[in-house]
Amino acid sequence: MVTAADPIERARTLLRLRRPADAERELRGLLAQEPQHTVGHALLSLALIEQRRADEAVQEAQESVRLAPDQWLPHYAAAQVYNRARRPDDAVTAVRAALELSPEYAPAWEVLARAHLSKAEWQPMLDAALRGLSIEPEDCDLVSLVSLAYLNLGDPGQARAAAAHAVRIDPESPTAHFVYGRAELRFGDPRRAAESFREVLRLDPGFGAARDWLVRALKERNPVYRRLSRLRGRFPQGWRLIFLLPVIPPVIAVFVILALLHWVAWVAEAWSMLRLARGRATRLLFEGAEARVAVACLGLVAAGAVLLGLGIGLGQEALGVAGASVMALVTPVQEAAHTGSPRGRAILYGWAGLLGVAVVVSVLVAEPGVALLALYASIATVWLATPVRGRLTPAV
C-alpha cells in the first residue's frame, strides 16, 4: 500500500535533482488527499519558489506554519522562501523561529547568514555562518559565506583563507570557486580571479554573476584600468566627469588608449579561449557558446584586416575605415557574451548588431564618417556596457 511518506520522499528527491515541477505534481497529489499535511505544504512552497512563483510559495509556506507553528521545518521552509522572494526581514524572523525549536540544525544558520547577506549586514552574517560551522565544520557553503563576510568586512587574510578552504572541501562547488575569485579579485591576483570565474562557468554555465565578475577580473588585469577603477570608487557619481572631457583633451587620450588596450585584451581572450576549446586535454571544458564567440571574434579581426588592407590598396577610405570598425566590433561582442543577465546580454548583442549594420551602410553609401562613428562607439562599449550590466544583473 502506498503511504503518505512515499510522495514526500519522491518530492524531496525531485527537489534535490532540480526538478521542481515534477515535485509540485507529487505534492499536489498528496495534498488533494491530505489537505492538512504540514510537510507537504512546506515542500510545495520550496518547489514553487524554485519555479519563481513567489506569491504562491509564500502562501504555501504560511499555511505550513499555520498548521504546525511548534515544528521547526515549516519555519525553516518559510525562511528559504522569504529569502528567495527577497524579503530578508521576514526570512530572519522565520529562521530565528526555526532555530529556537532546533538550534543545532546547521542549514538553518546558513539561511540566517544568507538573509543577513541580502541585507548587507556583514557582522551578523559572519556570526551566523560561524555558528553553523561550529555544528558542521566541513560545510562548503557555510565556509564560502564566512569568506564573503570577511571580504566585505575588509579582512583579506581571513577572506582568502576561508575561500581557499571552501575550494579544498568541495572542488566541484561553483559557489566555492566564485567566492575564491571574489577574494582574489579584491585582495589578490586578478589573473587567478579570472581563472576561478572560468571554473565557475565550467561547473555551472548558468551562473550569470560569474560572467560579470569574469569581465571585471579581465579588466582589472590592465593596470591603467585598476587605477581608474580606484579613482572612480572615490567618486560615486564619477560618471559625470565624462562631461569634462572636451575641456581636458589629455584625458580623452587616456580613455582612448584604455579602450584600445581593452580591445587587445578581448582579442587575446578570444585566442586563449579558442586554444582551450581546441586543445586535446581541455576541449570538453569549453564547448558551445564560448568557443563560438571566440571564433566569431577572431573572424571579425581577420575580416576587418582584409577590408582595411583592401581599402588602403584600392585607395577607398570608406572601405578602410569600415575594416577598422569591423575589427572594433570584438569589444561589444565580448562584452555581450560575458554579461550574466540574459536581458543585458540581449541588449548588448543588439547594440553590436546595430553597429554592424552601421558599418555595412557606411560601405554601401561610401561614407567613412559613419564607419568612424561606429568604430568609436564599438571601443567605447567597454564603458557603455557597465551600466547595462550593473542594472540588469541580479545581486548574488
- Using the predicted structure, report yes or no on whether residue 174 has a pLDDT greater than 90: yes
Do the domain assignments include residue 236?
A: no
pLDDT, residue 232, reads: 45
Q: Is the pLDDT of residue 367 over 50?
A: yes
Domain check: are 273 and 184 in the same one? no
Q: Which domain-ending residue is among 155, 188, 221?
A: 221
Residue 111 lies in a domain: no
Q: Which pairs with CB-CB distance under 8 Å and at least 24 residues apart come from 176-182?
A: 176/140, 176/143, 176/144, 177/203, 178/144, 178/207, 178/209, 178/210, 178/213, 178/396, 179/144, 179/147, 179/148, 179/151, 180/147, 181/210, 181/213, 181/217, 182/147, 182/148, 182/151, 182/213
Same domain for 30 and 171, yes or no, is no
Residues 184 and 317 in one domain: no
| Residue 230 located in a structural domain | no
Statement: residue 233 has pLDDT above 70: no
Do 204 and 265 lie in one domain? The reply is no
**Residue 66: per-residue pLDDT:** 95
**Residue 199 sits in the same domain as residue 136:** yes
- Domain shared by 74 and 171, yes or no: no
* Cα gap 110→239, rounded to integer Å: 37
Report the domain count for the chain: 3
Nearest-angstrom CA–CA distance, 236 and 286: 37
Judge if 295 and 359 occupy the same domain: yes
Task: Answer yes or no: do 267 and 360 share one domain.
Answer: yes
Last residue of a domain, one of 78, 102, 126: 102
Q: Do 28 and 136 have their domain in common? A: no
Determine, yes or no, domain membership for 204.
Answer: yes
Per-residue pLDDT tens over the stretch 50-74: 999 999 999 999 999 999 999 999 9
23: containing domain = 1-102
Identify whether 315 is part of a domain.
yes
Model pLDDT, residue 274: 77
Please check the confidence at residue 347 and state whether its pLDDT lies above 60.
yes
Question: Which range is least confidently modeled, 48-57, 236-245, 333-342?
Answer: 236-245
pLDDT exceeds 60 at position 335: yes
Whether residues 371 and 264 fall in one domain: yes
